[in-house]
Structure 1
């Protein structure tokens, strides 16, 4: 129960969930503490896993037979996708292939068990490198020449680091003719109890069969195979299981406004001076400007992950990039420093919005979505950056009540929307409490928008719907959407009465994508209530 909870539990919560008598539970918890299986955090009186469990886990992993555990998964995966599957591990400076299940083809792959691949150029290598401890990765990369094996090989260390961060955010790595011309692959790491890669499983084949689109679709399959190999230990925080297709039909008022195959569409914001919708694809990574008048979308690729973009009062835009907040020119893609937090190693920015006074608020999460790593930041108009609150899982949707006395924040990992008292004059929050607690088996809250009546429109990740909640947290209505992973909402149009909904296709299987082919697109519907205009950053 404690291990499965999204956050540490208090005694009263364990008592409620377990249904045990109070005295019996006290004795059991005391015994578990004495055995170091649980520990009590005196600061907030919550229970966490004890060190003894990690010592036992380390002993299990020290005796783990990687090849034996992976063998059935390699066989299953080969038959499922009709491609060659491989198991590899890091051996010095290269990847060593220790098992392979070749799918019979007229043209066979030239290397197999015992062969060595470039770690920076292969999918297996990148999947492993992305999950090395930061110190070990720096030692691997420092002063190491990156050989350009093909025109597609990444030979710049900074570019490779950005690629590895993208791998960690996606959960899988792709190599498109980076090691050999005509050969492409997708791989996912097999993680131990610490979240460190023991090895990786890949699907490898000719590039005419393994196109870029198919590689990304197969990303979910290699993640599943890797997790099954490790007994689902390690990387379990990143969702690969979407809810089944709902029986109810899609809301009749909803339509696809901008067809797209975005990996992770997010952060929609209406630009009234352009009559256009601004939104991002975090994992492309790219910034998009979509125009309802012609249905077109203009994209600007960014050199690193980008999670949100807001207009700037003095002109231009401000973007939350992977580890910094930057000014950006949407025509050239050029960026300038605005603010850089000091503790962003292994983390990235997520949702960001401005309060009515023009301060920028932004949340973060761990690249691998592990819990407790998220922080809520506030960037003041004078450029001062403040860490307001730490310890979130996935710091997500942000918003304010129309009178700016309440601040909302969705923590997707905790499946909870929190509400704070808000002081607009000082930009401070207080008195955090849960407004909405979702049943995660039916989806979790992602991005949100607040309308002029103070109601919250919330995209429900893995829930096939958008929900409208009243200011008291009660459910007002639901809007069924044709995709399992709606990600965020924004009001747009000349009167702000059009609701736009972004979505994602990342880590959905081929079967799931066949059931929801519009995943990654942007949807719209007319509403009988208006939204609140976007406030530009005033700094």
Structure 2
């Protein structure tokens, strides 16, 4: 045997290496799918012949790396991979991996920085760096984590599956209800959805009186939370605004720790500016540090501009004639806003409602069109000329086809107008009112519908624009000019792109920032 191995030719070694590479490609492909796949899907996805794909899958099954469902004739990852991954994370010294980033965060803030891990029955602090401030916390190493009161606890559980998260919360249901912070599990669950969406959690006097903090998760190679890094200190030093300013720094610390541990954190860096893209002269109208500013909309008289910050929940108002600005913080995530005669129509985690922005008083509550789907939330929305509010929905996990498009009539009734969407986003109407446009960001497409303005119905969906793979960025919010041209904000594309009504690209307007989210025309 030994002699045979030594006698192996270079061509034989190369063939074996190629076979191993193809097997690894199959494992990566199976891991990237949302569920079991057929042999044909593997073949088309990887460009393999049927004999090659079948032979490699059979070998992977023999070694427990893949599983075959003989009833449905589908394949998925095998349990042996999960056993090996658990062993890797058990053997990995998270303290060593995280400590370098914790030291950087500690040096930059001089606040207490803690590391906690998620365990089957909760969470526990395993390491920390103490603040040198006179007023500081006692070391928490070895203590249990308050999963729903502390920022680090919320960071540990926010990214879990809805089922796993609810199981943990239900064990503390009475304490949550009587804790004075949340009205019950639904409100806490919405807050955790917000935490998961923006990537970090905050606490203000929730766990320990006088102590506030921010935290973000460390994830494994599947993107599943295994630990969290938290920063905490005296509330008089760490106000809500200060915590939100520190949030991105905490995210960066956990992102780098995840990468050092072989994990797969969500990308936070922006794409490089495309070469040759001309940046237009722009004028800053208001100076707010939005995490995700969205849904710019004008008042009926064109004097007031409204918009929202989705992840640092707030509604903003700018008087275009005087330059005066106002900010109206919200308790839950807000995703879209529109002006009505009764007040501001707001879409968010709690559904759709009309509010008086200054007092926050709810004028009318239209409810949530998907109240029976707790894993979904509403997204961008806009009013048509008839006063109907159109709003899209999506799954927090961005499950393909889980989203819909709804029409909310002035009487508050909601009707599903389209299903099978993934990330419905910007929408608008042609100047003659005969066409409606809708972006699905995940599918990189702008749909066009025939629109009946009197009935408020859509029909005959077709692709107007399929954005090519080599086009920088992803389509987000849109607006239509009086000539019917469509202006589309390209997230991570550094540009607003202009298309003619027939879908022909006219021009790209470069922006001095990488992630424009939407646009609105003003006189």
TM over 0.5: yes
Q: Say if 2:153 is the partner of 1:129.
A: no
Q: Say if 2:321 is the partner of 1:293.
A: yes
In the TM superposition, what whole-angstrom CA distance separates every residue of 1:433-474 from its partner, at most 9, and x where no partner exists? Answer: 251314378211111111122211111112222111222333
Give the conservation status (yes or no) of the 8 Å contact 2:214–2:243. Answer: no
CA 262–50 in structure 1, closer or farther in 2 if over 3 Å, else same: farther
CA distance in 2 between partners of 1:54 and 1:11 (Å): 16
SS of the residue 1:216 aligns to: helix
CA 104–319 in structure 1, closer or farther in 2 if over 3 Å, else same: closer
Q: Say if 2:374 is the partner of 1:345.
A: yes
CA 375–31 in structure 1, closer or farther in 2 if over 3 Å, else same: farther
- Aligned position for 2:3: none
Q: 1:179 aligns with which of 187, 207, 226?
A: 207
CA RMSD of aligned residues (A): 3.9
1:25-424 matches, within 5 Å, as: 25-28=49-52, 52-53=76-77, 55-65=79-89, 68=92, 70-83=94-107, 85-90=113-118, 95-100=123-128, 102=129, 105=132, 110-132=138-160, 133-134=162-163, 135-145=166-176, 154=181, 156-157=183-184, 160-180=188-208, 183-191=211-219, 197-204=225-232, 208=237, 211-225=242-256, 227-228=258-259, 231-233=262-264, 236=266, 239-245=267-273, 251-273=279-301, 275-312=303-340, 315-335=342-362, 336-340=364-368, 341-369=370-398, 371-381=400-410, 383-424=412-453
CA distance in 1 between partners of 2:253 and 2:73 (Å): 29
SS of the residue 1:81 aligns to: helix
Q: Post-superposition shift, 1:256?
A: 0.4
Q: Post-superposition shift, 1:269?
A: 0.9
Give the conservation status (yes or no) of the 8 Å contact 2:423–2:442. Answer: yes
Identify the structure with bigger relative contact order (alpha carbons < 8 Å, sequence gap 6+).
Answer: 1
In the TM superposition, what whole-angstrom CA distance separates every residue of 1:126-180 from its partner, at most 9, and x where no partner exists? Answer: 11232343431441342125787xxxx8365365444322211212112345434
Give the conservation status (yes or no) of the 8 Å contact 1:450–1:457. Answer: yes
- Aligned position for 1:473: 503
Higher helix share: 2
Q: Post-superposition shift, 1:306?
A: 1.2
Q: 2:472 aligns with which of 435, 439, 442?
A: 442
Q: Post-superposition shift, 1:296?
A: 1.7
Q: Post-superposition shift, 1:410?
A: 1.7
Instruction: State TM-score, norm by structure 2.
Output: 0.77
CA distance in 1 between partners of 2:300 and 2:378 (Å): 25
Q: Post-superposition shift, 1:414?
A: 2.7
Q: Post-superposition shift, 1:121?
A: 2.5
Name which one, 1 or 2, has greater alpha-carbon Rg.
2
CA 147–362 in structure 1, closer or farther in 2 if over 3 Å, else same: closer
- Aligned position for 2:10: none
CA distance in 1 between partners of 2:423 and 2:92 (Å): 35
CA distance in 2 between partners of 1:468 and 1:13 (Å): 36
Instruction: State TM-score, norm by structure 1.
Output: 0.75
CA distance in 1 between partners of 2:354 and 2:173 (Å): 30
CA 359–260 in structure 1, closer or farther in 2 if over 3 Å, else same: same
CA distance in 2 between partners of 1:353 and 1:489 (Å): 12
Q: Post-superposition shift, 1:228?
A: 2.2
Give the conservation status (yes or no) of the 8 Å contact 1:117–1:179. Answer: no
Give the conservation status (yes or no) of the 8 Å contact 1:95–1:119. Answer: yes
In the TM superposition, what whole-angstrom CA distance separates every residue of 1:84-105 from its partner, at most 9, and x where no partner exists? Answer: 64331345886311234x3785
CA 196–389 in structure 1, closer or farther in 2 if over 3 Å, else same: farther
Q: How many corresponding residue pairs?
A: 473
SS of the residue 1:127 aligns to: helix
Give the conservation status (yes or no) of the 8 Å contact 2:328–2:358. Answer: yes
CA 461–426 in structure 1, closer or farther in 2 if over 3 Å, else same: closer
In the TM superposition, what whole-angstrom CA distance separates every residue of 1:246-305 from its partner, at most 9, and x where no partner exists? Answer: 676874431101111112111011113361101111122122211122212122222221
Gaps of 5+ in 2: 1-27
CA 69–429 in structure 1, closer or farther in 2 if over 3 Å, else same: farther
- Higher mean alpha-carbon deviation, 191-200 vs 239-248, is at 191-200
SS of the residue 1:228 aligns to: helix
